[in-house]
Chain A
Amino acid sequence: MPKKEINYNVLSAELDKVLVKLQDPATSLDKAIELFKRGQAIIKELETYLSQAENVIRTLSRERPKTDQ
């Protein structure tokens, strides 16, 4: 697991929204700069996640009670 817990799907969805707003001609330059900075930060976070995150495998025992954890 990466040190910082991030949710790929949440960040990815936010990045899509940033991109849509950035493409909107009605977006002001100030807002576009703000969106650009946020988008860059998300991309950096996702790249770090993708290059560092590892999968964790745990085995569920069939003898254990039916509720997990």
Chain B
Amino acid sequence: MDNSLIVTVSEFIDLLNQTLEFAYPSISIIGELSDFKISKNKWIYFDLKDDKAKARFFGTVYQLPGPLKDGLMLKVRAIPHVHPQYGFSLTVQHIALSGEGSIKQASDLLKAKLIAEGLFADERKRSLPYPPSRIGLITSVESAAYTDFLKIINQRWGGLEIILNNVQVQGEPAIEQIIQAISQFNQMAYPPEVLVITRGGGSVDDLQIFNHELVTRSIAGSRIPTLVAIGHEQDVSLAELAADQRASTPSNAAELLVPDKNSVIEQLKMTRQQMTTHLLHSLQMVQITVADYKKTLQTEISQHITQSHNYLHSRSEIIALLDPQAILKRGYAIIFRQKHTLRQISDFRKDDLINIQLNDGSLEATVNNVIKM
């Protein structure tokens, strides 16, 4: 007797899908990518395979972590499904790279693509305000990065407003959360002056979200300048390359963002000293100028006095030369007649009573004879 269930083909497909949905509401499958195709720039089709089997996947380009090529190892979260016309496939929910080699290869592919677009070009880099007054911080409050960043920034500077957007910094949800956080800050009416996206070090797998194309593009597209600090020593992530500035660790991010207030206070003391020196110098300059004026004035006055003295001396010498008494001393005499000076022979007549003035006295005389030359 045949006890098997009898159903139509459509019913069987529905039943199969219900069974699959119940058994595997979501499943992550690891395998090597093959036969990867993009259709109409929107749909993606690919197989994941291993040594013994392969499975077909279907999704959208928006789910791609970046450019992919056959041979890469992927971890794909998907929903198994049987299509009434096309048979079995897995509908993609999330694609991640699997294994360090594949992560590196995919990252290199994306890096080449973004470099060609000029996304990492130096010309795109903006300088960060130094120090900023408002910082948008995108990290996980549970991470050491959060604690380290705050510790250093609080040690170094004060008066900052730090707006935290608490996100996961690894795993699948981190991608959407970081993109959303960047977008949220950028849409604020009064946005922060700088965005800091940070996390501590981790495995290549942990850090692969910082090589995700959408995360990288979101950072590059931020209107607010960005500082990305991923605590690792090896390869620089694409997110860091897209940022306006990168820091090696969360602590280093804090150091790059703000000066050390103790150094600034020391610098202010030196500035105060410098100002005092400059003021004293100005005062000294004025004192020198005043002293110069004084000296010039003294020289001028002294010259005037000497000139006046010389003038008086020369005049007194002339006056001395013209003094009649000086002539008399040399043996000459002046002859008067009734107070009139007699200068030539025609002024004399015989028997005139004349007065002769000499250097040391005078005498009266009578003219006996007048002889003309």
Contact = CB atoms under 8 A, between A and B. Distances in A.
A52 B181 contact: no
A54 B157 CA distance: 8
B129 A9 contact: yes
B271 A39 contact: yes
Contacts of B279: 22, 32-33, 36
Contact of A67 (B150, B158, B189): B189
Given A49-B159, A68-B190, A43 B177 contact: no
Nearest to B286: A29
A15 to B, nearest CB: 7
A67 B163 contact: no
Contact of B131 (A9, A66, A68): A9
Interface string B111-134: 000000000000000000101010
A39 B268 CA distance: 10
Interface residues of B, number: 45
Interface residues of A, number: 38
Interface in B249-276: 261, 264-265, 268, 271-272, 274-276
B290 to A, nearest CB: 11
Interface in A16-34: 18-19, 22-23, 25, 27, 29, 32-33
B342 interface: no
B268 A43 contact: yes
A27 B162 CA distance: 42
A38 B264 CA distance: 18
Nearest to A12: B264
A69 B272 contact: no
Contacts of A49: 158-159
Contacts of A58: 161-164
A56 B275 contact: no
Given A36-B275, A40-B272, A60-B165, A55 B154 contact: yes
B282 interface: yes
Contacts of A51: 261, 265
Contacts of A57: 150, 162-164
Nearest to B188: A68
Contacts of A19: 271, 274-275, 278
Given A19-B274, A54-B158, A59-B166, 6 more contacts: A8-B159, A22-B279, A27-B282, A36-B275, A56-B160, A69-B189
Interface of A: 1-2, 7-9, 15, 18-19, 22-23, 25, 27, 29, 32-33, 36, 39-40, 43, 46-47, 49-60, 62, 66-69
Closest 9 CB pairs of A and B: A53-B158, A53-B159, A68-B188, A32-B282, A50-B261, A66-B187, A55-B160, A22-B278, A57-B162
